[in-house]
Amino acid sequence: MRINPTPQGLEIPWQDIETVLLDMDGTLLDLHFDWHFWMEYVPQMYAKQNHIALEEANKIIRAKIHSQQGTLNWYCLDYWTEQLDLPITELKHELKHMIQAHPEVITFLQRLRTLGKDVVMVTNAHRDSLAIKLEMTEIGNYFDEMISSHDFGMPKENEALWQEIENKFGYNPTTTLLIDDNLQALQSASDYGIRYQLAAVHVSPKMEKIDPKGFPSFENFNEIMP
């Protein structure tokens, strides 16, 4: 993690970075959509379908989600459609108007392209979820590749994923930066040998900032603009 804080912000060696790996939800996009969907909307629909109280539905949904944390199932719309007997992708479309990018994200992505960096999305989001996010934002216009961990059958929390991605797309870990709000993903990338990590801690204006646990971190993309 050779990114050092200075009184002016973060000292990022952009001249040494060839590839920028970017997470989507919470990093580029406001996480409130996902939080509202899973913590409020899905329990409401589950309670309605199963004729139970919302409080009971909340307990059931939270327990089920907690049991899969850190696994690919946690992010898999097909898994939750089967487990909850709800049309998860269809329900996401009903709330897609809530999807929005963080401030300065497009400017940041444009800047990376201007500098000739290889810009790659690596998300744990299911492909159906990714499609909805790309439909509602402009972020998809700025990536050389967009990778869902579902393509490889393992989440970013698994160190082996970074090897699989390197095998397929040929990035150089020693000249690569990962920007993510998922600390386990940042750690697995670091363990694999990806040289630079940055934690995006301001996942939503409506949610608390995350504790970066020692990783270099930023709140607004203006702070790390190359």
Give the pLDDT mean for 15-36: 98
**Unique residue bearing structure tokens 């040998």:** 193
The tens digit of pLDDT for each residue in 143-167 reads 999 999 999 999 999 999 999 999 9
What's the DSSP call for residue 72? G
Torsion over CA: 11, 14, 19, 21 (sign): positive
> What is 106-157 written as a DSSP string?
HHHHHHHHHTT-EEEEEE-S-HHHHHHHHHHSSGGGG-SEEEEGGGTTS-TT
180: enclosing H helix or E strand = strand 176-180
Q: Residue type at 135?
A: E
Residue 10 is predicted with a pLDDT of: 79
pLDDT digits (tens, 9 = 90+) for 114-150: 999 999 999 999 999 999 999 999 999 999 999 999 9
Q: Where are the domains of the chain?
A: 4-31+99-224, 33-97
Write down the pLDDT at residue 109. 98
Q: What is the per-residue pLDDT for 3?
A: 76
> What would the mean pLDDT of 9-21 be, rounded to a whole number?
91
Q: How confident is the model at residue 150, as a pLDDT?
A: 96
Whether 191 sits among the annotated catalytic residues: the reply is no
- Please tell me the predicted confidence (pLDDT) of residue 183: 97
| β pairing state of 196-200 and 176-180 | parallel
- Confidence (pLDDT) at 1: 52
Q: Which residues contact 67 (CB under 8 A, 6 or more apart)?
A: none
Whole-angstrom Cα distance, residue 74 to residue 221? 27
Q: For 205-213, what is the mean pLDDT?
A: 96
pLDDT of residue 32: 97
- Identify the active-site residue in 16, 151, 191, 211: 16
The residue with greater pLDDT, 1 or 167, is: 167
pLDDT tens, residue by residue, 83-126:
999 999 999 999 999 999 999 999 999 999 999 999 999 999 99
What confidence tier does 7 reach under pLDDT thresholds 50, 70, 90?
very low
- DSSP letter, residue 224: G
Report the mean per-residue pLDDT for the chain: 95
**What's the half-sphere exposure (Cβ side, CA atoms, 13 Å) at 17?**
27
Domain 4-31+99-224 -> CATH class: alpha beta
Residue 29 and residue 36 in contact, taking contact as beta carbons nearer than 8 Å:
no
Pairing relation of β-strands 19-22 and 9-11?
unpaired
Work out the number of other CB atoms within 10 angstroms of the CB of residue 99: 20
pLDDT digits (tens, 9 = 90+) for 45-71: 999 999 999 999 999 999 999 999 889
Asked whether residue 11 carries a pLDDT value surpassing 90, the answer given is no
